[in-house]
A and B are shown apart, each in its own frame.
Chain A
Amino acid sequence: MAKHFQRTGRKLLGIDRQGWIKGFFGGNATLSIIILFLICFFLITEAVRFFPQHHEKLQLHRKSGQEYVNHIITEMNEYSQLVSLTNQAYFQELNEKYALQRGISNSFEAFLDPLEDDGEDLIEALEDAEDDPEALAQAQADWRAFVSGVVEGANRADIDSFGRLDDASWAALKKAMIDYDPVEEEPPAYVTQAQQELRDGMARFEEAKNEISSAGRELKQLRQKLVKIASKVKDDAAAEESAAERKKALLAGAETMTNEAEKAAQIEQANAIVIRDEFPFAARTEEIAASKDAHKAAVAELKEKLGIAVAKLPTELSSEEASALLDQVRKAHPPFVKWLDESVAKASTWQWDRKLSFFGSAMKFFFGVDWVTNSSWHDFYGLLPLFIGSFEISLIAIMFAVPFSIGAAIYVNRLAGRWEQTLIKPAIELIQAIPSVVLGFFGIVVLGEGLRDLSQIEALSWVPGFPMQERLNVLNAGLLLALMAVPTIFTLCEDALNNVPRAYSEASLALGASKLQTVIKVIVPTAISGILAAVLLGFGRVIGETMVVLLVAGNKIALPDWSAGLGVITQPTHTMTGIIAQEMGEVTKGTLHFRALFLVGLVLFTISLCINVAAQRIIKRLGHA
């Protein structure tokens, strides 16, 4: 009897063709899940190990007194900003009000070079001829002839390189140069007079400026002294921590040596390492602890002197820019003084043995405002500026991308004619094909320059943040990322709109609604869940983007200066993705820095995960309503 319903085909290793095909696809799926799992596992284990290591670092930071000294450092940093603003104002004023005098003085000095270099022999002759009136007269005549030759032959642009002189004073200076006495090195009266005018005019400002600069002298000295102590304590403590290990390594090394003398030397070296149970932090930081009063005194002096000096700052300036800078100084002064008091009060609570909570040190990562690595002082790992940078850029990107892509999706899906559809859709999707590094390049060269030029137009100065100081900034990066988000949002939006049943739009049109009304009142509300999800996924897309932000965001790790209001968007920033890309290549495996970068990666991963889950939820929840 013939057999029925039998499987046909050959078997390989006891598995038939269907089985192999099934195994192939199943195997692929399993493999990708395993790889995903491994990635997560690796990421999480490396990242989580950051916390204890960081905690230990921070403990050392406290015990070594660095924490205390750090307050002084920050105080000095803030103070030097005031100093630098004042200096800027000073030179601005100087350049604008006394341009002519500066021009005379500088041009005079510029003349000296050729005179002294090429006229060396003549000057010597002058010196030699001092006692011989006849020779002197001759030498002087020679010198004069030489000088007028040089002066006449000089290129005006080389001498008065900033173009500060007008024709009359240029001529006057050239004439006056004849009077220059090369032996006494006495400038001609014309020059000394100009210098005097300048000095007199700026005297008050200069005094105030110098007083501001010197107000922090005590604090500066204290800082220098304490930094040295604390650094030493920290280094010693760190060295001692590894002492046991080093000793062991040396001894082990000695075991393998054959040369007896070398072996003995090494053993001796090993035995010289003393291992103590406790590093004597208390004793070593005594001096720091004892400096609290000196610190208070130094700050008090700074406050007092600064107060006097700021009051002395001139109010009537001829340079607008300088007065704006001085206004900044005057505005920043009271809050700075207040902040100083707080800082001193905070510093005074420092004790080397005060307990540091694990939670507290973890928070120092999430809310720390500094990210400083490879520092000889202390490394700070604060996520906040990077986090804010990433968010700022992504928000701007989304703000620009959303109207564009939703608008385009609605247009293409509902309003455009057929040939427009066949043109616009692939065009937008093609944006995705641009490599992000090319986009970054475009951002630096074209968009950055373009935006800056645009921002310098007078008529646009009302725009917050214009004119822009930096070419690479949040706005620039945000705009480029918007471009990258557009295809994602557009495509997903278009899908969402496509999923709106035709019957809805037909019903709406049949009721006498226009196409636009139909879109706004029926189609968009129906597709809203899909649109929201599209926006969220677009956000996820941009927050994970690396290359563009690395190239275009400016890579300055700092909290945004909120005082600029909306202008913060024209400040440079750094991002979570950017920092990983920038620093991962050069860090040693297993170090705190390495793990900090992993932790940043984990934070990013978590954000992306949340965004994706949220998007899926929205689609599910609203989709069923």
Chain B
Amino acid sequence: MNDDSVTLDSADAPVMGIDETIIKIDDLSFSYDLGKTNTLRNISLDIPAGKVTAFIGPSGCGKSTLLRCLNRMNDLVDTAKVTTGKISILDQDINAPDVEAIELRKHVGMVFQKYNPFPKSIYENVAYGLRVQGIKNKGVLDEAVEESLKKSALWSEVKDRLDSSALGLSGGQQQRLCIARTIAVKPQIVLMDEPCSALDPIATARIEELIAELRQEFTIVIVTHNMQQATRVSDRTAFFYLGELIEYADTAKIFGNPSKKQTEDYVSGRFG
């Protein structure tokens, strides 16, 4: 990158106080087919730093799509296009021509619905993000791996078998490993797309605990279908319906006293 391009390097990234807006979505419309139809329509949403924000809504309403806009994973779709509006993260328009998706993703990590560790050792999975950044120093890597595994509450379970394949872990462990892998690169924001949907209730509970831990250090955006989960883990909740943002407020308000009829119908289980 050339010198006057804007990077999202943690050194020059502004430090966010709690409740300051870290992600600012402004009138965003997004299309998967070069603008013929908009999958997301005119979404405006400010996500505060240091909090957990939940996206809820019926299937196909565009939660994942919006989430994937935040780290530009939608770049992988040839015909995907932001039709109007913009997304700013740390006050930087992430779709500006001089922003590198690769750099952005080092700051905006992502955990997927289906746990997907690489077919490598546990150690290599966690070290992967650092290795692709060119870090080779064993000491630095060791330290980062241990720290990330500890933060993901996995260290005690795997510390004796760091060199065995990650695919030998249980589903819940694998998902926690994916979280460890994501936080090892020290992103400011962690996006989670239904991280528990493939897990049993016990494993789910552990991930939820983990999210509660991680909120102290990261801004978390989580997509979930599970209303209880949203109430348990999130501070703010956004409800989407058919590609539009219907209501966005504190979680307690959304579930206790929603201002829109659609929201109420959805959270009370009348449809969705």
A and B interact: yes
A513 at the interface (CB under 8 A from B): yes
Quick check: which of B10-18, B37-45, B54-62, B114-122 contacts chain A, the rest being far away?
Answer: B114-122
Contacts known (A503-B114, A504-B118, A625-B165); A509 close to B185, Cβ less than 8 A: no
How many angstroms from the CA of A417 to the CA of B79 in the assembled complex?
11
Q: Using Cβ atoms and an 8 Å threshold, which residues of chain B touch A501?
A: 116
- Tell me whether A507 and B132 are in contact (CB under 8 A): no
- Tell me whether A508 and B118 are in contact (CB under 8 A): yes
- Which of B106, B117, B132, B178 makes the CB contact (< 8 A) with A517? B132
Interface digits, A496-519 against B, CB 8 Å rule (1 contact, 0 not)?
000001011011111111100100
Q: Using Cβ atoms and an 8 Å threshold, which residues of chain B touch A513?
A: 102, 128-129, 132
- Chain A interface size, as a band, is 20 to 34
Q: Using Cβ atoms and an 8 Å threshold, which residues of chain A touch B102?
A: 512-514
Quick check: which of B22-30, B70-78, B138-146, B153-161 contacts chain A, the rest being far away?
Answer: B70-78
B228 at the interface (CB under 8 A from A): no
How many angstroms from the CA of A146 to the CA of B76 in the assembled complex?
94
B90 at the interface (CB under 8 A from A): no
- Tell me whether A510 and B110 are in contact (CB under 8 A): yes
- Tell me whether A509 and B112 are in contact (CB under 8 A): no
- Which of A521, A525, A625 makes the CB contact (< 8 A) with B132? A521
Q: Using Cβ atoms and an 8 Å threshold, which residues of chain B touch A418?
A: 78
Q: Using Cβ atoms and an 8 Å threshold, which residues of chain B touch A522?
A: 118
Shortest CB-to-CB span from A419 to chain B, Å, is 10
- Tell me whether B185 and A504 are in contact (CB under 8 A): no
- Tell me whether A512 and B129 are in contact (CB under 8 A): yes
Q: Using Cβ atoms and an 8 Å threshold, which residues of chain B touch A417?
A: 78
- Tell me whether A511 and B185 are in contact (CB under 8 A): yes
How many angstroms from the CA of A625 to the CA of B106 in the assembled complex?
30
- Tell me whether A509 and B118 are in contact (CB under 8 A): no
How many angstroms from the CA of A534 to the CA of B178 in the assembled complex?
31
- Tell me whether B112 and A511 are in contact (CB under 8 A): no
Q: Using Cβ atoms and an 8 Å threshold, which residues of chain A touch B120?
A: 525
A476 at the interface (CB under 8 A from B): no
User: Which of A418, A507, A509, A512 counts the most chain B CB atoms within 10 A?
Assistant: A512
Q: Using Cβ atoms and an 8 Å threshold, which residues of chain A touch B109?
A: 510-511
B152 at the interface (CB under 8 A from A): no
B206 at the interface (CB under 8 A from A): no
How many angstroms from the CA of A501 to the CA of B73 in the assembled complex?
16
Contacts known (A509-B76, A511-B128, A517-B132); A504 close to B105, Cβ less than 8 A: no
A323 at the interface (CB under 8 A from B): no
How many angstroms from the CA of A511 to the CA of B71 in the assembled complex?
10
Q: Using Cβ atoms and an 8 Å threshold, which residues of chain B touch A514?
A: 102, 132
- Tell me whether A506 and B116 are in contact (CB under 8 A): yes
- Tell me whether A510 and B118 are in contact (CB under 8 A): no
- Which of A507, A521, A525 makes the CB contact (< 8 A) with B116? A507
- Tell me whether A510 and B105 are in contact (CB under 8 A): yes
Count contacts on B: residues with CB < 8 A to the other chain.
27
Q: Using Cβ atoms and an 8 Å threshold, which residues of chain A touch B118?
A: 504, 507-508, 522, 526
Contacts known (A417-B78, A521-B131); A512 close to B73, Cβ less than 8 A: no
- Tell me whether A503 and B128 are in contact (CB under 8 A): no
Q: Using Cβ atoms and an 8 Å threshold, which residues of chain B touch A504?
A: 116, 118-119
- Tell me whether B78 and A511 are in contact (CB under 8 A): no
How many angstroms from the CA of A508 to the CA of B124 in the assembled complex?
12
- Tell me whether B185 and A512 are in contact (CB under 8 A): yes
How many angstroms from the CA of A267 to the CA of B131 in the assembled complex?
95
How many angstroms from the CA of A507 to the CA of B132 in the assembled complex?
13
Shortest CB-to-CB span from A497 to chain B, Å, is 14
How many angstroms from the CA of A625 to the CA of B109 in the assembled complex?
28
B181 at the interface (CB under 8 A from A): yes
Shortest CB-to-CB span from B136 to chain A, Å, is 13
User: Which of B110, B120, B128, B181 counts the most chain A CB atoms within 10 A?
Assistant: B128
Q: Using Cβ atoms and an 8 Å threshold, which residues of chain B touch A510?
A: 71, 73, 105, 109-110, 112, 182
B9 at the interface (CB under 8 A from A): no
Contacts known (A417-B78, A625-B165); A511 close to B73, Cβ less than 8 A: no
Q: Using Cβ atoms and an 8 Å threshold, which residues of chain A touch B128?
A: 508, 511, 513, 521
For window 100-156 of chain A, which residues contact chain B by CB distance below 8 Å?
Answer: none
- Tell me whether A503 and B73 are in contact (CB under 8 A): no
Q: Using Cβ atoms and an 8 Å threshold, which residues of chain A touch B178?
A: 507
Which residue of chain B has the shortest Cβ distance to A511 in the bound complex? Answer: B129
Q: Using Cβ atoms and an 8 Å threshold, which residues of chain B touch A512?
A: 102-103, 105-106, 129, 132-133, 185
How many angstroms from the CA of A517 to the CA of B134 in the assembled complex?
11
For window 484-543 of chain A, which residues contact chain B by CB distance below 8 Å?
Answer: 501, 503-504, 506-514, 517, 521-522, 525-526
21 contacts between A and B (CB under 8 A): A417-B78, A503-B114, A506-B73, A506-B112, A507-B118, A507-B181, A508-B128, A508-B132, A511-B106, A511-B109, A511-B129, A511-B132, A512-B102, A512-B103, A512-B129, A512-B133, A513-B128, A513-B132, A514-B102, A525-B120, A625-B119
Interface residues of B (CB under 8 A from A): 71, 73, 76, 78, 102-103, 105-106, 109-110, 112, 114, 116-120, 128-129, 131-133, 165, 178, 181-182, 185
Q: A510-B109, A526-B119 are in contact. List 10 more A-B contacts (CB 8 A).
A: A507-B116, A507-B118, A510-B105, A511-B106, A511-B128, A514-B132, A521-B128, A521-B131, A525-B120, A625-B119
Interface residues of A (CB under 8 A from B): 417-418, 501, 503-504, 506-514, 517, 521-522, 525-526, 625
